[in-house]
Chain A
């Protein structure tokens, strides 16, 4: 009964390739996120969607494109992968805005390695 599930968990790919990470939440939340965690463990928000609408779009390369077909899904597509994209990508969800004290539920993470 995983609350926030993301696939794949591990992904090794070559520079220049295009890849996608899928995310689904079964908590009935209206807000979903993508976070990036680098090797130094810094967590940075990339995108946030509320009811399929983009509400947070931090400064990330436009090679990263989120897509939310419905409020239970938020996928992340990455074009022309670069070495610096290697990181752990976490999908998350909450009911209501994260900035208003609502608990964020994270997935297990997707380990992306670009070689």
Chain B
């Protein structure tokens, strides 16, 4: 069964731009790519979603190449409060043609002062 792949962890410093890439080779044609953020002792929270090219909101940007087999979450000018686990979420068509929502293993992002 296809799955997503993300780096297990990343470190960065306050004020830097952070890019986290997710691979999703078997993404379904009509499915979106969504990123969630999870702080300790809390449930995941929606950050951004896109289908193709580039999407930007007040907290992040999402870059999706033409083949849609990967996506990159970009966090501009991170702060200590951006320390969290970031999950990449896509819908994947399984062998029996049913859709499954596959969560990546998550990337633990640590921001240092």
Using a CB–CB distance below 8 Å, which chain A residues touch chain B?
A: 4, 40-45, 90, 92, 97-101, 103-109
Chain B residues within an 8 Å CB radius of A4:
43
B41 and A109 contact, CB distance less than 8 A: yes
A41 and B105 contact, CB distance less than 8 A: yes
Using a CB–CB distance below 8 Å, which chain B residues touch chain A?
A: 30-32, 34, 36, 38, 41-46, 49, 51, 85, 87, 91, 99-101, 103, 105-106, 108
CB of A14, distance to nearest CB on chain B (Å): 24
B43 and A107 contact, CB distance less than 8 A: yes
- B32, B41, B101: residue with the most chain A Cβ atoms closer than 10 Å: B101
- CB within 8 A of A101: which of B31, B38, B87, B100? B31
A45 and B101 contact, CB distance less than 8 A: yes
The docked-state distance in angstroms from the alpha carbon of A89 to that of B10 is 26
A103 and B34 contact, CB distance less than 8 A: yes
CB of A3, distance to nearest CB on chain B (Å): 10
Using A106-B43, A109-B41 as known contacts, say yes or no to A99 and B103 having CB atoms under 8 A apart: no
CB of A33, distance to nearest CB on chain B (Å): 9
The docked-state distance in angstroms from the alpha carbon of A103 to that of B49 is 9
A90 nearest CB neighbor, chain B only = B43
B106 and A41 contact, CB distance less than 8 A: yes
Chain A residues within an 8 Å CB radius of B85:
41
9 contacts between A and B (CB under 8 A): A90-B44, A97-B99, A99-B99, A99-B100, A101-B34, A101-B91, A107-B43, A108-B42, A109-B42
Chain A residues within an 8 Å CB radius of B44:
43, 90, 104, 106
